[in-house]
């Protein structure tokens, strides 16, 4: 084979300690971490929305009970008068 026929695959520089499969593995790991982070963020957002909805429901229930109690008091005051 002649010396002019060389591989077209890029060759690492002499001081380069990683091979291309290590770089590809690191890229895959980085993408996996990114997917996991997005999933975690999505789960946290969903949980925050659920908590907010629950808090709003509890507040509405509390206001409803306060109003019902106020109506009972007014009715009792009217009966006494």
Tokens of 44: 């946290």
Query: In terms of pTM, does the model score above 0.95?
Result: no
How far from the centroid of its chain's Cα atoms is residue 15's Cα?
A: 41
pLDDT higher than 60, residue 12: no
- The answer, yes or no, to whether residue 17 has pLDDT greater than 60, is no
Q: How far apart are CA 72 and CA 75, in angstroms?
A: 5
Rounded to whole angstroms, how far apart are CA atoms 33 and 26?
10
Above 90 in pLDDT, residue 33?
yes
Which residue has tokens 């009970």?
65
CA angle at 17 for the pair 11 and 22, rounded to the nearest 5°: 80
16 compared with 52, residue with greater pLDDT: 52
State residue 3's pLDDT score.
53
Residue 80 confidence (pLDDT) = 84
């Amino acid at each position: 084979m002649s010396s002019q026929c060389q591989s077209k695959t890029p060759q690492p520089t002499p001081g380069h300690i990683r091979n291309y499969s290590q770089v590809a593995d690191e890229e895959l790991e980085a993408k996996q971490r990114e997917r996991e982070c997005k999933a975690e963020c999505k789960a946290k957002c969903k949980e925050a929305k659920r908590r907010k909805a629950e808090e709003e429901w509890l507040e509405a229930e509390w206001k409803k009970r306060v109003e019902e109690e106020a109506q009972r008091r007014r009715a009792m005051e009217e009966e006494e008068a």
